[in-house]
Amino acid sequence: SQQGEEDPQALSIQEGENATMNCSYKTSINNLQWYRQNSGRGLVHLILIRSNEREKHSGRLRVTLDTSKKSSSLLITASRAADTASYFCATDDGPVIQGAQKLVFGQGTRLTINP
């Protein structure tokens, strides 16, 4: 199975600045998702972008997808202290089974927003 690689592994910025995280994957995908994890707790789904989409927005989040380069980026604009978390990309892995899709997660980026 493929696994996304993310960079940077860690990112520390000042509140109000923009944060950009990147994800690369190895094989063809149907979609790519981004999740957030606060302090080792459960993951929260942020946004999904399909393989036929190039850019998607949700509030302060902007996701791009370049299938030719097998890469995606997550941009968080006007960062806040509450954005401090780990961010993971995830890609579909294998066929849908009984309506459910397995996911493969990237290594994650630990984002710290300094007040």
Partner 1 sequence: SAVISQKPSRDICQRGTSLTIQCQVDSQVTMMFWYRQQPGQSLTLIATANQGSEATYESGFVIDKFPISRPNLTFSTLTVSNMSPEDSSIYLCSVDRGLHTDTQYFGPGTRLTVL
Q: Indicate whether 102 belongs to the interface with partner 1 (CB under 8 A).
A: yes
- Determine if residue 88 is left, alpha or beta; phi over 0 gives left, psi from -120 to 50 gives alpha, anything else beta: beta
- How many positions of this chain bind partner 1 (CB under 8 A)? 28
For partner 1, the closer CB: 5 or 15: 5
**The residue type at 12:** S
Handedness of CA 102, 69, 9, 73 (dihedral sign): negative
Pick one of 19, 23, 43, 65: the residue that binds partner 1 (CB under 8 A).
Answer: 43
Instruction: Count Cα atoms within 13 angstroms, Cβ side, for 9.
Output: 1
Q: Indicate whether 26 belongs to the interface with partner 1 (CB under 8 A).
A: no
Q: Indicate whether 78 belongs to the interface with partner 1 (CB under 8 A).
A: no
Question: 94: which strand partners?
Answer: none
Q: Indicate whether 68 belongs to the interface with partner 1 (CB under 8 A).
A: no
Residues making contact with partner 1 (CB under 8 A): 3, 30-31, 33, 35, 40-45, 48, 88, 90, 92, 96-108
